[in-house]
Amino acid sequence: MSQRSKLGTNVHPTKSDWLKAMNFSRRKLVIGLAAAGFTPIIFAQKNPSLAIQIWKDPNCGCCKDWVDHLEKSGFTATILEQGNNGIRSKLGMPQKFGSCHTALIQGYVIEGHVPASEILYLLKVRPSALGLAVPGMPVGSPGMDGSVYGNRRDAFDVLLVQKDGTSKVFKSYPGEKRASS
């Protein structure tokens, strides 16, 4: 039996009271740690499987914007500012698919302004291929978007490039029709 003060409240809780309090506190602690303690740690850590090497010209602003787009999607970029023509050839990406930057992730070559979502899907399905390409620099693709381009969106295709140099459409992005002036 617990001792009671003159006000009738427990001064020393019983073992039963203590266990009830501990179970409740344990539940709150586990939920609290899961929600507040562990979640930020999980999200704060970089995902090593999303480490990507990018070769680009040091003066290219759209490449920097593309890298920002990737990093917002969880990629960790290592940037090699020495141009990309030599590495594109060395990695086997045909010149006809060329753009202003070339990247390498988990053995796949990424050429041009490929959306992060398509790279993530490529890594999920892991097709037997050389990689992905968005040839040229289509306005409206990641890194070539925003107010600096008048918020224009041209249609473009993300191509799945095979090891023999052939390609097929991996994903099409429609453009936006604009009223003629």
Amino acid at 58: P
Close Cβ partners of 103 (under 8 Å, ≥ 6 residues apart): 52, 53, 54, 55, 109, 110, 111
Give residue-wise pLDDT tens across range 1-23.
445 444 444 444 555 554 555 55
Q: Do residues 39 and 52 share a domain? A: no
User: Does the residue 157 lie in any domain?
Assistant: yes
Q: Do residues 156 and 85 share a domain? A: yes
**Half-sphere CA count of 65, side-chain side, radius 13 A:** 18
Give residue-wise pLDDT tens across range 55-97.
998 888 899 999 999 999 999 999 999 999 999 999 999 999 9
Close Cβ partners of 101 (under 8 Å, ≥ 6 residues apart): 54, 55, 56, 57, 60, 63, 66, 84, 111, 112
Alpha carbons 85 and 94: distance in angstroms, whole number:
10
Domain that holds residue 85: 48-173
State the pTM of this model: 0.72
